[in-house]
Amino acid sequence: MSVSIEVDHVSKQFTMAYSRTLKSMAVARARGLPLREQFLAVKDVSFTVEQGESIGLMGLNGSGKSTLLKVINGVMRPDAGRVLTRGRIAGLIATGAGFHPQLTGRENLYLNGAILGMGEKEINSKFDAIVDFADIGKFMDTPVSHYSSGMYARLGFSIAIHVDADVFLADEVLAVGDRPFKRKCMEKMQEVRQQGTTIFYVSHAAASVRAMCDRVLVLEKGELTFDGDVDEGIRHLHYDDAPDEENVDEELGADV
Ligand SMILES: Nc1ncnc2c1ncn2[C@@H]1O[C@H](COP(=O)(O)OP(=O)(O)OP(=O)(O)O)[C@@H](O)[C@H]1O
């Protein structure tokens, strides 16, 4: 097996500004309060992923999951450490990220496809499959600013999953889709997984991580506190404790 992703002592720092207006800055300064604070969203994280592994990235809100994916994707540069990736990376950091609101679905498909590394010929050959999967056919010539968040998500996911990628990064892809679409996405991701694509799957839904992944990474306040067996990782996060009935999906399990 060959190494697909190597994350080596990676840290990412952000600045949190407390004051947004000149007045509040002046008040804070007069009171001797800090104007901003720096914090590490990802703290000294290291791990290696082999080609074809399917990783569930879990952690509470704000624990650094999206930031870590952005660093792996190359959208953000780490402040310390390094990331090595092999092959073409496709993925959704935020559903429909990169869509231009004034452009139609069709135009965004070509634009987004190009951003994800597909040539025009490749997009042409996959166009029907992408539109079919997204199931928003008659809205393809409507500006995406008129789309619902679910329609955005459908088109975004469909484009990304049809890229012949070596690594697929899926951040909360199932958060806005309806139940039939979630099911379809899971089936498609399983198909891509069977083909040997490395998958990074961010989810709060324990059952979907169980179905999709063969290893779990857990981030807590930016630190990697668990790397290993799926069930143990879920137990580590207590995701299985007393699920809230309203959020239990028969296939995806309990959300937290
Ligand atoms: N561009 C940014 N500038 C400043 N702070 C940021 C930025 N992006 C993220 N953060 C902060 O970094 C921390 C980690 O955010 P991140 O989005 O990576 O968390 P997450 O685990 O993906 O959360 P969620 O489960 O809610 O999606 C949060 O405190 C967030 O406010």
Contacts of 145 (CB under 8 A, 6+ apart): 101, 102
More confident residue, 52 or 178: 52
pLDDT of residue 34: 76
pLDDT of residue 37: 80
Q: What's the whole-model pTM score? A: 0.85
Q: Which of 43, 65, 256 to mutate to test the pocket of ligand 1 (most atoms within 8 A of CB)?
A: 65
**Number of structural domains found in the chain:** 1
Ligand 1 is surrounded, with C-beta below 6 A, by 14, 41, 59, 61-67
Give me the mean pLDDT over the 92-120 stretch: 83
Taking the C-alpha atoms of residue 234 and residue 247, their distance in angstroms, rounded to an integer, is 17
> What CATH number is attached to the domain comprising 246?
3.40.50.300
In this structure, which residue's CA is closest to atom 16 in ligand 1? 64
Question: What residue numbers bound the domain in which 169 lies?
Answer: 3-254
Q: What is the pLDDT of residues 210-244, one digit of tens each?
A: 999 999 999 999 999 999 999 999 999 876 554 54
